[in-house]
Chains A and B, each alone.
Chain A
Amino acid sequence: MRCAVFKNMVLQSLKNCLWLSCVLRTPKACFWSTASGGLIIQSVSNDVYQNLAVEDWIHDHMDLEKQQVLFLWRNSPAVVIGRHQNPWQECNLRLLRQKNIKLARRRSGGGTVYHDLGNVNLTFFTTRKKYERMENLKLVVKALKALRPQLDVHVTDRYDILLDRQYKISGTAAKLGRTSAYHHCTLLCNADKFVLSSVLKSPFKGLKSNATPSVPALVKNLFEEDPSLTSEMLLDAIAKEYAVQHQIDHHITLINPADETLLPGISDKTNELQTWEWVYGKTPKFSVSTCLNMVYKDSILDVKVNMDVKHGRIEVCNIDLPEQWLPPGLYSELVKSLTGSKFCPNETTTLVTTLLRVCPQDDELHTRWSLLCENIIRLM
């Protein structure tokens, strides 16, 4: 719904919000009065879903003709995959779960990145006509150079920012809507490189997919180049440069992504981004073709598994077991139950334990069943 009437309603409600005068960092009556071309906002939340929801909200609701928006945000540890990527292919899901690192799928294209508080995110909102990624990145580089003139940073034609000509410190992604667009990028200040490299390495073998692949790159933190740098300093420098270029006051408006009165509909957007259907279900169709090497009674069983997964659900399932290893009825029950169910550990565990409860109590059978199913679940 992009009609002007609705936009005006939103602007009006924003104007009327009392918080505006409370949270402005510099004493100004209302940010609209200085709205001549630009607005800089920063999220008070570190929740990746809330922040992505803010991007959606601005993209859908704000009128960017009169002013462009720069959104500054940071997240607690999270892996963010591109709109059309495959999480199984891009990261180590098991490790993510163990380390309690969130997984989010953003709405823009591009590759997978790791966020933590040592990484700064910038989103440049403009109308579709004024969409210009190179300009935005040059602004960032200019800001960095103004802050620390000795930094060797430059923008590549792949829209990366490189440090010392070889280390990637920023990656870019964008989304073009009908009338508005946004370009966002990361900036590594002091992220945990060790965690980054371990979570972004997928142990998955035998996965075939036409999902957008990520291009791995050597990364470095700006902090390593200059230990006096902090994320706050970077944010401030970039905001300053943005203010200069858009001829607006250098002040940053803080927003709370949980504020439903300020951003009506934001909690729905936040919730949607967390659903399984969005994070996993939006994976382009892929196939798994692998061999389980199961150790059973001092011998190794090679079990070929082939699955087609669409919308995150198993469409086709083939498990190549030695004949009679499992009672045929139970085996076909397993395959039939897996078909159509989510390619998800919890879901499969529930399914196989339920099936186990409904079959005859036999220790040998039990052991074989558990062994096979555990191996299958480990794939997910």
Chain B
Amino acid sequence: MFSCSSTLWESGTPADWSMGMGNCTLARCPLSGASGSQGLAYTNSKKLVVNSSSVFTVRYFRTTAVHRDDVVTVNTPAFAESVTEGDVRWEKAVGDTVAEDEVVCEIETDKTSVQVPAPAAGVIEALLVPDGGKVEGGTPLFKLRKTGAAPAKAKPAAAPPPPAAPEPVAAPAPPPAAAPIPTTMPPVPPVSTQPIDSKPVSAVKPAAAPAAAPPGEAVPTKGARSEHRVKMNRMRQRIAQRLKEAQNTCAMLTTFNEIDMSNIREMRAVHKDTFLKKHNLKLGFMSAFVKAAAFALQDQPVVNAVIDDTTKEIVYRDYVDISVAVATPRGLVVPVVRNVENMNFADIERAIYELGEKARKNELAIEDMDGGTFTISNGGVFGSLFGTPIINPPQSAILGMHAIFDRPVAVGGKIEVRPMMFVALTYDHRLIDGREAVTFLRKIKAAVEDPRVLLLDL
């Protein structure tokens, strides 16, 4: 709609304007600064060569209008009121593709932010002022190589620095199918997996390009067979490496069981309001599992222990610190609830809630995320039915929770439909025997299916 911005100045020549820019709003733009004199000033000053890509654009007035692929220099707009100078803040970098009207930089003058859009679609060829540099009205700002490129592709071009390149959202296998705790903890830290292109002007434009399209390439059409490479996140590499090491040192295997969730559900239904009233916390399922796990760990201390490979000793711990695995876009995060052996359900819910709050407030400390003697991971949030979690080194076992599904089961000789959850315990067989592992898991099952077991210490 606008072939040139009313706030911008191209260092073409008077001849160009009369020729090709008939619908340009230059005539009534607030920047007087005589167009003619601007052109004339250039012929007199040394800026002559700097402003044009070649001597030809100066000598032969018609060339810039005819060529589609010309370079224009965009100057600082005149400032409003009596302001004389401002600071330049670049939004785009050299090599970025921009659409017409897309903001290239902002100039801050005296508490006012003025946007400088691109006069046409093209590629930024050069930035003539450093970021934060001072400019006055008319100072050359940047050089744009005009192209006929469609604007939509420009959006992904403003790619964030490489390490933050679009990360694959759904991790294919590994870290223990972790997920947010079903109570209140939000993912830590909230990170968007897409590059955010935050320009007010372009935000209004219809977005066409897929966010992951690499800069400059044609948007793949149906049936295209291109591929693009994304550097693997450092953390991911380290974790993957460590997991493989763990797999190689531990003799990992998994035992399964299923849990009838009817009683726990009923307990929640009956007591959740009172719980909320008294503790100002929501009563979730996590507390039941965390407490059951602590109970079982005290009953089978070897599951709470770990092998010290350097000294070939088994380290038994008298305390139970449970790591709750949370999936975040940044990778697996395992905040720890400490000394669970001394906590009741309310204490556990509170600890989980507080960790969530710290995460939300960006106040997590190292000791909140460090250590842990046993891990619980919940794949159920994603709807998983069954699965083998992988041990979170340097621990010896991990409990995987899955989704609750109504299933027909045999109860007292009859078929009934009950809400059932499969649970899996992956353990290090070097340390823990099959018998111990199975007993441990059955203890968890008993404690979750009937919390009175905890009270009665059965």
Residues of chain A at the chain B interface (Cβ within 8 Å): 1-3, 56, 59-61, 82-84, 97-98, 100, 107-111, 128-129, 131, 133, 159, 172-179, 210-212, 265, 268-269, 272, 275-278, 281-282, 284-285, 310-311, 313, 315, 333, 336-337, 339-342, 344-347, 349-358, 360-361, 366, 370, 373-374, 377
Contact = CB atoms under 8 A, between A and B. Distances in A.
Contacts of A212: 87, 108
Given A82-B108, A175-B115, A276-B189, 18 more contacts: A107-B200, A108-B112, A110-B111, A174-B111, A175-B112, A178-B201, A276-B190, A285-B131, A313-B164, A340-B163, A340-B164, A344-B362, A346-B188, A351-B235, A354-B331, A357-B334, A357-B392, A370-B370
A377 B366 contact: yes
Interface string B366-379: 11111000000000
B367 A357 contact: no
B330 interface: yes
B5 interface: yes
A136 B182 CA distance: 52
B314 to A, nearest CB: 13
Contacts of B1: 2-3
B364 A176 contact: no
A355 B30 CA distance: 58
Given A84-B108, A349-B364, A60 B189 contact: no
B196 to A, nearest CB: 4
Interface string B381-400: 00000000000111000000
A142 B445 CA distance: 74
Contacts of B131: 210, 284-285
A82 B188 CA distance: 27
A337 B334 CA distance: 18
* Pairs A-B, 8 closest by C-beta atoms: A340-B163, A210-B132, A110-B111, A346-B189, A358-B242, A109-B113, A353-B369, A174-B112
Nearest to B245: A358
Nearest to B315: A361
Given A174-B111, A175-B112, A347 B203 contact: no
A282 B112 CA distance: 17
A350 B113 contact: no
B277 interface: no
Contact of B111 (A173, A349, A356, A370): A173
A336 B392 contact: no
Q: Which of A211, A310, A340 has the most CB of B within 10 A?
A: A340
Contact of A284 (B132, B162, B192): B132
B234 A358 contact: no
Nearest to A4: B1
B204 A60 contact: yes
Interface in B129-145: 131-132
Interface in B179-214: 188-192, 196, 198, 200-201, 203-206
A347 B189 contact: yes
A177 B80 CA distance: 12
A175 B363 contact: no
A346 B362 contact: yes
A357 B359 contact: no
15 contacts: A84-B89, A97-B362, A108-B112, A109-B110, A110-B111, A159-B111, A174-B112, A176-B80, A178-B101, A276-B189, A277-B192, A337-B238, A345-B363, A346-B363, A356-B370
Nearest to B395: A357
A176 B115 contact: yes
Given A275-B196, A277-B192, A284-B131, A313 B163 contact: yes
B7 interface: yes
A284 B108 CA distance: 12
Contacts of B198: 272, 275, 277-278, 282
B111 A350 contact: no
Given A178-B117, A313-B161, A340-B234, A357 B363 contact: no
A353 B115 CA distance: 42
Contacts of A355: 238
Given A174-B113, A265-B204, A272-B203, A83 B108 contact: yes
Q: Which of B204, B242, B362, B367 has the most CB of A within 10 A?
A: B362
Contacts of A107: 113, 200
Contact of A133 (B81, B242, B331, B333): B81
A341 B80 CA distance: 39
Interface string B229-245: 00000110011011000
Interface string B294-310: 00000000000000101
Contacts of A272: 196, 198, 203
B35 interface: no
